[in-house]
A and B are shown apart, each in its own frame.
Chain A
Amino acid sequence: MLRTLALGLALALSCTRGPAEVEARPNPLPTLAEPRAVTSLPASAPPQARAEDAGPSLAGEAAPPAPPGTPEAPKPEASAKGRVRVSILARGELLRSEQRALDGLKTALARRVTLELGEATEDERTFAVAHLDEAAAPSLPAAWSAFETVIVLEVLAPRGVKPSRFSRGLGGVLIVRPPRVAPIFVERVEGEVGTPLGDDTLPVSLRDALSLAEDPA
């Protein structure tokens, strides 16, 4: 009786410690894929970010008009100050678990920054793939002039076939500070070194990336 009670209490305690330990170290284990994949990202950001999402399509979008009183050729960053775009470069169909993780990432980031998160447009894909595959890089997507920072997250194509697909997680990362064409940060991956999209450290890392001090030549 006494032993059962002690073991029960200890088991309960050890169960409450489990998740914290898992979160402390990135878990490389893949996530079981859901049979249905979601290809669009729902707008679940706070009102401030949602209002920006409601604007025109990113592809080919011009920079917003300069406020009155600015010089004739305003620098794009004048109106882009504080605005961040996170562009998702999915190399395959997004799994539902990946969709959920991205929604969580959006929520976590939107608490601190004026954020727009969405799937990569065609010209964003072209730009990002060129950098991640080390090909000749094209010019910046025009819509990026409206942002102070653009972060491209590559979601690796899942492993396996339906209905047993597994997430391979986060692949490459690009951080661009328009109008500068060259990214200030490029992370490329080869092989099975993707990290979980639901990694708790990812939102913090992306948020901290916004405060990296640019130091042009």
Chain B
Amino acid sequence: MNRPRTIIVAAALALFAAPVEAGDRPLAVLFVDMNEDSGPAARSCTDALRARLAGDDTEVTRLDAAALRRRLDPVPAGPFLAWPSSALAPAKARKDGSSFDAVVLAECRPDARTLDVLVAPAAAGRATLRLRDVTLDRRAIGWLGAAVLRRAWVGFSP
């Protein structure tokens, strides 16, 4: 193969091998820190979980519990782990008219060794994840974050 042909083939390959495809976009996640009146350890824990969810394929927006409650009408009764996914629908709307693909609510209490998460993905339904009596170190939070992401992706359509 002569040189011009090699260049043309290489150009064609580069075109088709481009990592970004038309219509591709990251998973938009609304992460709500449900720790209220909590100390720095709890905040650090939820921050670590949020950081775990963020990545090349995800775009995470943080919200605190009070701001979430203002968006919900009415605010569901009972602990947030019992909230139906339909109640979180108003929180999925974004100011630019688009929607979050998934809403993740998390409450971390290192003193009690508990970490509770509710995931409402694009699919109809929800998942709740609860860690109990486990040292909430980086490894545990990273592990839980991977489990949260598996549910958050369900029903995603770019």
User: How would you classify the secondary structure of chain A's contact residues: helix, strand, loop or mixed?
Assistant: mixed
Nearest chain A residue, comparing its CB with the CB of B140: A212
Against B, the Cβ 8 Å flags (1 = close, 0 = not) of A182-199 are 111111111111110001
Stretch at the interface among B5-13, B30-38, B59-67, B91-99: B5-13
Interface residues on A, range: 35 or more
A185 contacts B129, CB within 8 Å?
A: yes
Bound form: Cα–Cα A25–B26 in Å:
11
Given contacts A192-B123, A192-B125, contact A10 B153 (CB under 8 A): no
B147 contacts A191, CB within 8 Å?
A: no
Nearest chain A residue, comparing its CB with the CB of B129: A187
Can you list 30 contacts pairing A with B, beta carbon distance less than 8 Å?
A2-B9, A6-B9, A10-B15, A14-B17, A24-B57, A25-B153, A26-B153, A28-B153, A173-B147, A183-B132, A184-B134, A185-B134, A186-B130, A187-B128, A187-B129, A188-B127, A189-B126, A189-B127, A190-B126, A191-B85, A192-B155, A193-B121, A193-B155, A208-B146, A213-B134, A213-B137, A213-B139, A215-B113, A215-B133, A216-B133
Given contacts A188-B127, A211-B139, could you give 20 more A-B pairs where the C-beta distance is less than 8 Å? Answer: A5-B9, A10-B12, A10-B13, A10-B17, A182-B132, A185-B131, A185-B132, A186-B128, A186-B130, A191-B85, A191-B126, A192-B155, A193-B151, A193-B155, A194-B154, A195-B150, A208-B146, A213-B137, A214-B135, A215-B135
